[in-house]
Structure 1
């Protein structure tokens, strides 16, 4: 295997999609995937583990972007997931804030 043909999938993506459409979808999927991960699944991790998780997220995003280009609603799903998780986290924050203010008031 020579260095010019290292990844047939990478060559396929670069040669068959015009005007950097793949990279636009990739960046959108990466942003919304990171938001969904942070809002829904992230825990406090040490720095190296966090870096590893986001590297794996970037690799996985490359793979799901291929499906997104093939007319599957990946990007749209990530947007909806991010919105739902953001609303959930906001309501949870307001509920916890409300519970703390009730505990502080003397009875």
Structure 2
């Protein structure tokens, strides 16, 4: 079970070494968190609120990366699963809305 749980961590550690593992994980966590935020929240925010959200994401992801690298918690793997689930949900929602609009326009 340990090999599956830390699949991304072990791959990055073996490929890039220990020197830059924190910043690689910070980048991965940040990108995956931004994608999850975009997929999870459909409402558009004003510019100032969006900037505040992204600044808080930068700080929060830094803390998550500490847990991910020092304590070896599977945050990257969890974010990948979260993004997959949200992408499936948004795709199904899109097709349902498209079918509903098509049915209401035909009536």
Superimposed CA distance per residue, residues 40-89 of structure 1 (whole angstroms, 9 cap, x where no aligned partner): 13521110110110010010000000111121011100110011001100
Q: Can you give the 5+ residue segments of structure 1 that lack an aligned partner in the other structure?
A: 1-16
Q: TM-score scaled by structure 2? A: 0.79
Structure 1 consecutive aligned stretches of length 4 or more whose deviation exceeds 6 Å: none
Q: Can you give the 5+ residue segments of structure 2 that lack an aligned partner in the other structure?
A: 1-16
Q: TM-score scaled by structure 1? A: 0.79
SS at match of 2:19: helix
Aligned residue for 2:81? Answer: 80
Number of equivalenced pairs: 90
Structure number with larger C-alpha Rg: 1
Measure, in 1, the Cα distance between the counterparts of 2:44 and 2:65: 27
CA RMSD of aligned residues (A): 1.4
